[in-house]
Structure 1
Amino acid sequence: MSETERVARAAEPLSKLLRTLTPDQLTAPTPCAEFDVRALLNHLLFWGPSLIGAARKESVGPAAAAESDVDLTAGDWPAALDTQLADLATAWRDPEAWQGSTHMGGPTELPAALVGGMVVGELIVHGWDLAHALGTTADWDDDLLRYAFEETTATADQGRAMGIYGPEIPIAADAPLLDRILGLTGRDPAGR
């Protein structure tokens, strides 16, 4: 699998889910206690510019509005987020996006490949969150999930220390890769 296609492949199932989303589903709960569907979409729209900027080696803060203020009532939210996902995939298709160091919405320099791995993991985990909230599934190929599992394993302790992930949920070593990724981030694959 080419690293330049990882973000696009992680975003594709999420993009498909957006095309099926209806306004009445915005209040559906997600496995993330602090997010309903609207808040999850706000979160993605809010951080998208920083993740795109990271690929371009630009220090871009999150969206100008407060995360809770992104307006999803106007009816253009699926298109706005789908466009943002396409822009994100395009930005990370550049081989230079994965080289050197970059910033992710703040002053701290991080290895670009690490940030790319975090972007892939974020798209997969939040794609699963959305699918679960909508009562459906999202599928990623095993190569991408293997990569995301390795990246999430390498950064899970840091993510928990930063409050990004909840406490790890033990998952059997022979469980599907997606379940193991979810467990590392503090999500119960059964959605409990």
Structure 2
Amino acid sequence: MSENERVARAAEPLSKIIRTIAPDRLADPTPCSDFDVRGLLNHLLHWGPSLIGAAHKQEIAPGAEVDLTEGDWAAALDTQLTDLATAWRDPDAWQGVTRMGGPTDLPASLVGGMIVGELIVHGWDLARALGTTVSWDDDLLRYVHSEVAATADQGRAMGIYGPEIPVAPDAPLLDRILGLTGRDPA
């Protein structure tokens, strides 16, 4: 699997989910304890500009909260996901160091891996909140599992992940990723 396609492959199922969200579902809870559907969509919209900027090695401040009762937020988020995938298709996006809306230089490959994981985990959060299913290919899930496994302790220390949920070692890859991030796949 080419690293240049990872973000696009992670974003595609999420984009399909976003197009199905009815306004009356925005207050529904998600497995991500910090967000309901509205909050999770705003989280994605908020960080999108910074993550696109990171691919271009440009420091861009996160976006403002969006009023999801006005305008076509689904189209805006879909466009943002397309722009994110396009930006990370550039092989240079994965090289060197970059920043994610802050002053700290991080390896670009680490940031790219975090983005792929974020799209998959939050895509699952939204799918679960809406009572639908979502899937990604095993190559992409193997990559994300290795990325999350390598950074899970740091993610928990930073408050990004909750306490690990035990999942059987032979469980599906997505379930093992979710367990590492503090989500109960069941």
Same fold (TM over 0.5): yes
Q: Paired residue for 1:123?
A: 119
Work out the CA distance in 2 between the residues paired with 1:180 and 1:102.
28
What secondary structure does 1:127 align onto?
Answer: helix
Q: Distance in 1 between matches of 2:114 and 2:32?
A: 18
Structure 1 distance, partners of 2:117, 2:73, is 22
Structure 1 partner of 2:16 = 16
Tell me which amino acid in the other structure corresponds to 1:74: E
TM-score with structure 1 length normalisation? 0.95
Percentage of matched positions with identical amino acids: 80
Q: CA deviation at 1:75?
A: 3.8
Q: What is the Cα-based RMSD across aligned positions, in Å?
A: 0.7
> AA paired with 1:48?
G
1:1-192 to structure 2, matched below 5 A, reads: 1-63=1-63, 65=64, 69-190=65-186
Counterpart Cα distance in 2 of 1:91 and 1:114? 15
SS at match of 2:106: strand
Q: Alignment length, in residue pairs?
A: 186
> Residue 43 of structure 1 aligns to a residue in which SS?
helix
Runs of 4+ residues deviating >4 angstroms: none
Quote the offset at 1:128 in angstroms. 0.1
Query: Aligned to 1:144, what secondary structure does the other structure show?
Result: helix
